[in-house]
């Protein structure tokens, strides 16, 4: 699992570290993202028996407008508005190639972006369900759980690991 997490971290950083002219704000956003990732705990994914309502319409991020929506939702993990701005700047730099190991997803609730998550696939080490977040709504925890369950069905490699959500 450690190699899987390290590979995902390198892939996420590459969007800034490999950029010819990264902005100072995107570099700050990467640092904030990495600091937060250092505190995230992962473990084997345990399927839940909880009946998830299908309140989210979940779409793969395949264009820049959806990347922006993904960034706006995930940035809700940061409380400080200046930090949020930096994280959004960083996340909107994510670029995808056809053979990308990561697939981002945005979940829409009542027509608005409300949840997000990523499946990072590695043929050698398994799949990682990560970066799951939802905007602050009364049903925020339900949206997070629904996103996590949905992403588990999209993972293509075993073993399957996920953020340990509280």
DSSP β-bridge partners for residue 128: 120, 161
pLDDT at 166: 58
Q: What is the spatial distance between Cα 4 and Cα 161, in angstroms, rounded to a whole number?
A: 9
Give the range of the structural domain holding residue 124, as residue numbers without chain letter. 2-163
Task: State the average pLDDT over residues 62-67.
Answer: 94
* pLDDT tens digits for range 66-88: 999 999 999 999 999 999 999 99
pTM: 0.92
Average pLDDT (26-32) is: 97
- Write the CATH number for 61: 3.40.630
Structural domains counted in the chain: 1
Report yes or no: 107 and 146 within 8 Å, Cβ to Cβ: yes
């Amino acid at each position: 699992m450690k190699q899987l997490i390290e590979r995902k971290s390198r892939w996420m950083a590459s969007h800034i570290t490999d950029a010819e002219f990264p902005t100072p704000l995107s570099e700050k956003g990467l640092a904030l993202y990495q600091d937060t990732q250092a505190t995230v705990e992962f473990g084997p994914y345990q399927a839940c028996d909880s009946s998830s309502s299908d309140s989210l319409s979940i779409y793969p991020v395949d264009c820049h407008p959806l990347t922006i929506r993904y960034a706006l939702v995930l940035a809700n993990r940061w409380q400080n508005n200046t930090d949020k701005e930096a994280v959004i700047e960083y996340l909107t730099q994510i670029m995808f190639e056809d053979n990308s190991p990561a697939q981002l997803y945005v979940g829409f609730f009542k027509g608005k972006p409300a949840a997000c998550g990523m499946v990072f696939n590695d043929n050698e080490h398994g799949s990682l369900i990560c970066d799951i977040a939802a905007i602050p709504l009364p049903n925020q925890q339900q949206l997070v759980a629904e996103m996590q369950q949905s992403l588990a069905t999209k993972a293509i490699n075993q073993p399957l690991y996920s953020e340990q959500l509280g």
